[in-house]
């Protein structure tokens, strides 16, 4: 429920890019009725998924919200869709993303078991699944920034600028706008934006991985699991599709940041733009980029009032 303002503004900003594709909110049954009503009043369709959690979940004392992020992996099984561009709710869309729907990815398996289905030879079926799941393009994502610019003590010790994929692009900022880094020392991805061809097979791989005790030690739950399970099998997108607000900070990756090229701004960490208020209850952005979100949110409110939506969201 706390991310509802983010989701509504995400939907609003995406709609302003003249996208040809529908926006669908992925929810769980525990979402309060008021939030569901807010989505439906804006004609935002929903898909309900079952929560996901590893058998050996960590405590996430430093980032309690991480306990819920595992559930986003349920999107990998939504095979009623040919393709999904999965977006976190703490994002702002600034340009059209439709080209991601045509990005080349491997076809997901046509059969979910290794035995033969009706009319299918078992041996042929097994070979088919093996070939189709050893491709190099299972999903697409932008790399994680592993600089740890806020110097968070609970982050992995190896998260330093020298091990960050984006550091390798400082000498070629023009190229960074159209091509992802070729060097990612830690192999880490950021799951804020994922491009996926959903398949029940992929979901079965993920749910099997959720039984591994190693998940308890994953610092960044869902994205660590994906980076491990599909190591060297994901397409590296340029930062513009998942422009973490920290990338533009002085001395982080401001060398490659170009405001007019960024397509998606990602408001990682707390506080989120919608939760920042001063003692008088007024919006008080803590980061310049948060002001962009407030501007879009205000435009959304103006348009919704014109349409008769007064639900306080």
What pLDDT does residue 219 have? Answer: 84
Contacts of 87 (CB under 8 A, 6+ apart): 10, 14, 93, 192, 193, 264
- pLDDT band of residue 303 (cuts 50, 70, 90) is very high
pLDDT per residue as tens digits for the range 243-302: 999 999 999 999 999 999 999 999 999 899 999 887 777 888 889 999 999 999 999 999
> Quick one: which H or E segment has residue 151?
none
Q: Which domains does the chain have, with CATH numbers?
A: 4-110+131-306 (3.90.550.10)
What pLDDT does residue 61 have? Answer: 65
Of 231 and 115, the one with more pLDDT: 231
- pLDDT band of residue 116 (cuts 50, 70, 90) is very low
- Strand 264-266 versus strand 91-93 pairing type: antiparallel
pTM over 0.85: yes
């Amino acid at each position: 429920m706390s991310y509802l303002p983010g989701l509504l503004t995400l939907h609003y900003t995406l709609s302003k890019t003249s996208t040809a594709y529908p926006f669908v909110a992925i929810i769980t049954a525990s979402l309060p009725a008021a939030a569901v009503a807010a989505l439906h009043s804006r004609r935002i369709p929903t898909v309900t998924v079952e929560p996901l959690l590893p058998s050996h979940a960590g405590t996430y004392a430093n980032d309690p919200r991480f306990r819920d992020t595992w559930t986003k992996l349920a999107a990998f099984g939504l095979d009623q869709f040919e393709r999904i561009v999965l977006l976190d709710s703490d994002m702002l869309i600034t340009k059209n993303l439709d080209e991601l729907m045509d990005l080349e990815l491997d076809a997901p398996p046509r059969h979910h078991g290794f035995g033969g289905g009706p009319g299918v030879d078992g041996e042929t079926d097994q070979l088919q699944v093996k070939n189709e799941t050893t491709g190099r393009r299972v999903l697409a994502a932008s790399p994680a920034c592993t600089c740890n610019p806020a110097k968070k003590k609970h982050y992995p010790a190896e998260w330093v600028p020298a091990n960050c994929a984006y550091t390798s692009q400082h000498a070629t900022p023009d190229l960074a706008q159209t091509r992802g880094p070729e060097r990612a020392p830690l192999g880490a991805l950021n799951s804020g934006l994922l491009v996926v061809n959903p398949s029940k097979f992929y979901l079965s791989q993920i749910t099997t991985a959720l039984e591994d005790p190693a998940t308890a030690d994953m610092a960044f739950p869902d994205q660590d699991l994906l980076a491990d399970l599909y190591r060297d099998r994901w397409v590296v997108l340029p930062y513009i599709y998942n422009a973490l607000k920290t990338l533009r900070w002085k001395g982080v990756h401001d060398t490659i940041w170009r405001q007019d090229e960024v397509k998606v701004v990602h408001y990682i960490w707390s506080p989120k733009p919608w939760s920042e208020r001063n003692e008088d209850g007024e919006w008080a952005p803590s980061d310049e980029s948060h002001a962009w979100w407030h501007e879009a949110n205000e435009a959304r409110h103006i348009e919704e009032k014109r349409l008769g939506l007064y639900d306080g969201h």
